[in-house]
Structure 1
Amino acid sequence: MFKRSILLLLSLMALSGCADESGNRSLEDSFAADPQLQPTSPESEATEGPVAIPEAPELERFPPDLPQYEPATWLETTELEGDRLRSRWHSDDPPEVIAEFYRGRLQQDNWQLEEDRVEGEEIRLQASREGQDWPLTVVIRPRTAAENGTNQAQTDSPQGTEFELTYVATPIESDPAPPEESEAAAPQPSPAVPGAPSPEGRSPQTTSFSDLEQLSDSLASYVKDVAQLGILSPLEGDRFGPEETITRRDYARWLLEANNRFHEGQSARQVRPARGNREPAFQDMPQSHPDFPIIQGLAEAGIIPSPLSDDDGPSLFRPDDPLLRKDLLRWKVPLDVRRGLPDASVEAVQETWGFQDATGLPADVLEAVLGDFENGERSNIGRAFGFTRLLQPERPVTRAEAASSLWSFGSDDEARSAPELLGN
């Protein structure tokens, strides 16, 4: 009985967080009924106070390694066929932010994302994992004013987000061992919102791909090291596709996740995904787009050129276009240098790199190229493209080249590589 109480308390802490005097929710408050989320009925009007905290068996059946988004309020858990359960949750965050969290955590925890589709305003994800014979399904949708019990005439805006997790229940131990005969239960780390520092002490996750042996010798070690960070996404199944072109949206995702992984615990160096009702920086990246938090966050940080950083900046992001070499350098080098890029000219680039095609490069690309040269052996150009006297700025970047650029972050004595990060 003592062990079950401990498990109940720890499960509640992992799902809801503990209260403190600074105003965070208490356990009871976390599972309390939100009056706006309850249907109006004589019974609900006559009964006030919090919803009953779920029975211990129900909480114990929630798989301990199942990623759970916070902050969120539990609504209900429904038993389906067999041992399957469906739990419903409510959050004030937009659907895209919650979807980004699950995409990142599932990949980090070695889940294989088998379905990722958007139908209208609903986002549906389904994932499986080796050694587990059941799929996890996540359905995310905006919650309307009517569902919240609000007069629709008063507001037409979404009232937060509702999401459902469908999973197989964890069996309950019928005869738990006495506390002195069993190991003390260890609390599960609380999942972080996407882009925020991950819990300390997390072991690096390894992502395996079936076709990395196709890599050229010059790129193999870089890509394999970065793959161990758990930030690279496959094209399909476990196929990486090293020689295929990477899209702008995929590299933006890798870049943000890599930067934040290299700078875990350093809030000032994190690039934060956009949250809330931000005015989109790009006309083709509305808030409803699954990658809006990533792209918007990089634009707001001034990493991706946009009208936010320059009145003449591009108004379209073109997420599915190929990433070009000049794009990679524009985005990645500022995250290495972390200061103003050097003033550059065509002559300076020709004298340093010796590029024969430097003429005609935009000013911001010239600055990024010269800033990359100052990084010496850690330069992105040398690592991803090898020795070359032609930059070919309009040439599409392969997925292997893109991954290689993420092998190191920083400059001078602060530069840090993926092996150094994994070693720590």
Structure 2
Amino acid sequence: MSGNRAVAYKEPGVVEVIDTEYPTFELKDGPGVNPANVGRKVPHGVILKTVATNICGSDQHMVRGRTTAPAHLVLGHEITGEVVEVGPDVEFIRVGDIVSVPFNISCGRCRNCKERKTGICLNVNPDRPGSAYGYVDMGGWVGGQAEYVLVPYADWNLLKFPDRDQALEKIMDLTMLSDIFPTGFHGAVTAGVGVGSTVYVAGAGPVGLAAAMGAQLLGAAVVIVGDLNEDRLAQARTFGCETVNVGEGPIQDQIEQILGVPEVDSGIDAVGFEARGHGKEAGHEAPATVLNSLMDITTAGGSLGIPGLYVTGDPGAVDEAAQKGSLSLSLGTGWAKSLSFTTGQCPVMKYNRQLMMAILHDRAPIAKAVNAKAISLEDAPRGYAEFDAGAATKFVLNPHGYLSD
């Protein structure tokens, strides 16, 4: 093999499909690659022929110019693929396996990996704990919105689907295992959702919808999803969620109309650092809005799951503090109500096998819940533009024609 096609960030608002190198078992220099990782040998890796690779809201933050991502960075951390080459140190994964790739890159050897904290692996990113494919400041591992991609530590990282035909039949659901389904589920778990819980999910994008479905799987009695986008709220209602439009008045009042009380047991932030104001401030960027509103509406002693992305470098933020990730949080409210907070990358491997079984046995129609739509790799720029405009769709790139829809 000598060629590869991939989706790359060019400049704010612009992505393009480029010709790039076919991967080898060595991390080479390139946009975003940490210098300390250049030349890193990957005998424990495999090369995948990409079956499906998804456009994520986290990618969209970079494409909007809201991070320090360099030009020409190959994007994509939501990857499902077929193994076409294995490195000499790979023992259990075989050519022909269909696999899900956790977006967290982890070594399986460090203390954090052994404690199932795979989102903060100590050995794959020279700058900080934690790494991901095709993402700014995450070590420079090349992204998977491509025809072919290298995956390190394959025996550890890859989730092999037990039956190839069954996997390909349910591939639109299974592709969500690389990120958004475990991430949303993690938000629900860390928010303390259980049987009979009342839950508020801030954000009706794909992660918010995955969090809502995750809350339902955990036994929630009522799941309420809030957003400004009516199309996305309508999508949440298709699988049994209640909804509130946060631009149409105080959230507490709308929750009280649904539950009879103005609070919920559990709150989930699936929005992150580009949050917009609520009520009269709707439409204006106010990055602490969601976190502060969740503290207001979550009952004393409750928990907040925060799978929404927050960053330490945002050149487009509304003020100097927010550009460094410093937000005006009402921490006193959280302290007074004895609220618990969980932030950070989802440790995908903690959940992906269980969620795979839920999908394979028809317990979790996640692709339908997030309105997944397959498009070609060459159509990625259109997918990014429509997603950025607020489409109630999860775009799944289909580089090799494995997907029928």
Measured against the shorter chain, the TM-score band is under 0.3
Q: TM-score, normalised by structure 1?
A: 0.24
**Larger RCO: Structure 1 or Structure 2 (Cα < 8 Å, ≥ 6 residues apart)?**
2
